[in-house]
A and B are shown apart, each in its own frame.
Chain A
């Protein structure tokens, strides 16, 4: 921690505010991987003056609770101690994520992040990057994020390259065949004694063979171009998806996406298969549940935290949502509250994944609309029994 502060600047671009440096050690380490232009400030009586002097552009409020962070931020705004177009981020514990979410919905803070526990490390860097890019050339900060997006696109890039190489080889093959046909025709024509036959062959060549070859070439070329265009479109959509995932939830974007409907291939087309959204942070257990449900014919979409689940439920209607209680960013209880208030899944049944120690929490959760629960780990039969009952099969 000391080393981090030693390299800090007089006017750091990023400022982390906390009551205890130890509380934000993980956070400051992550930001230090991203930029040296930051500082961590322990909030004391002189905090308002200190912050004003530091004039940060991106400010992360990580006080001991959300209420204290809000109070400090209000005071900074009221006394005009901050630069006008600063970017404010509320850091909170998992249990206060619902409150932080509301603060962002009401535009008090630009974003929020659950740092206790610290799961979504790249997301924190993304938030800081989002803040910084409003003020500076983003290239300085993008390196680590760019590599993530790049990895996502590698497969598509490879497919496009493959499509283009196929096209080049087929066009070359057709051209070669055309030359061969012309040579053969020429040979035949030269060998024929009768000029009439030559004329007939020439006519046959011009009116039938050449147009057929051209049509074949055109058809193959257009199909390959279509394939390449399709792949490029997939790449664009992939990039768009990555951008959507990197941005905080914005009402406008969601409604825009609604407007495009499912016909453009961007959203899932409805099928007769019943679809289930599975929300569980432990990827091993998530894979197991998914495996059980997929094997009996359910279509499964998986996400690993409450916020990602909310993004999904705003876009797609599911037949059932199976959700863990303890989730990063937004827990199962608060995610269910949002599901019941907005989006396409207000009436979609929700089944909880929970340990047997959390009965009180499950009871509280049930008040917000719970249609069953699966005790971890449960057997295949138990899981299917609860899911089938909740989904009405």
Chain B
């Protein structure tokens, strides 16, 4: 993902439509599941960050990146990939900033889903 975050969407609905079809109920179900999964994994990411477990941090970020991409959470996927990269170099201060941005993205997705039309 060479794109800059400014060029990416918080939630690109076309991505999930291309993947599962234009079925609003199904899409809503996957979006809801993604938010639940994101909350759980984010907690694990923070725990791993706190104990300097960079291996686990990278794995968790990679895991969540898969579903983030699939539901069209482009900026989240970008941040998760960045965490993966920084985990390799154990750049803790940079990871901290990205985790904060990632949390903000999840809030933005939730907001978009609450306000948006399906």
Q: Which residues of A contact B (CB under 8 A)?
A: 22, 25-26, 93-94, 116-119, 280-285, 287-288, 291-292, 295, 324, 326, 355, 357, 376-381, 383
0 or 1 for each of B39-57: is its CB under 8 Å from A? (1 = yes): 0000000000001110110
| Contact between B19 and A288, CB atoms less than 8 A apart | yes
Given contacts A22-B51, A26-B56, A117-B55, 9 further A-B contacts (CB under 8 A): A118-B56, A282-B37, A282-B66, A288-B30, A326-B59, A377-B19, A379-B19, A380-B21, A383-B19
Number of interface residues of B (CB under 8 A): 27
Q: Which residue of A lies closest to B38 (CB)?
A: A284
Which chain B residues border A117 with CB–CB below 8 Å? 55-56, 59-60
Q: Which residues of B contact A (CB under 8 A)?
A: 15, 18-21, 26, 30, 33-34, 37, 51-53, 55-56, 59-60, 62-67, 69-71, 81
Which chain A residues border B70 with CB–CB below 8 Å? 284-285, 288, 376-377
| Contact between B18 and A379, CB atoms less than 8 A apart | yes
Which chain B residues border A118 with CB–CB below 8 Å? 56
Please count the residue pairs between chain A and chain B whose beta carbons lie under 8 angstroms apart in the complex: 73
A-B contact pairs, 22 of them (CB 8 A): A22-B51, A22-B53, A25-B51, A26-B53, A116-B55, A117-B59, A282-B64, A282-B66, A284-B37, A284-B71, A285-B66, A287-B30, A288-B19, A292-B20, A326-B59, A326-B62, A376-B66, A376-B69, A377-B15, A377-B19, A379-B18, A380-B18
Determine the distance from Cα of A330 to Cα of B56 in the docked complex, in whole angstroms: 16
Question: What's the nearest-Cβ distance from chain B to residue A385, in Å?
Answer: 13
Given known A-B contacts A117-B56, A117-B60, A355 and B30 have beta carbons under 8 A apart: no
Given known A-B contacts A93-B55, A118-B56, A282 and B20 have beta carbons under 8 A apart: no
| Contact between B55 and A282, CB atoms less than 8 A apart | no
| Contact between B30 and A284, CB atoms less than 8 A apart | yes
Question: What's the nearest-Cβ distance from chain B to residue A56, in Å?
Answer: 25
Question: Shortest 10 CB-CB distances between A and B: which pairs?
Answer: A117-B59, A379-B18, A284-B67, A377-B70, A282-B66, A377-B69, A117-B56, A285-B70, A285-B66, A116-B55
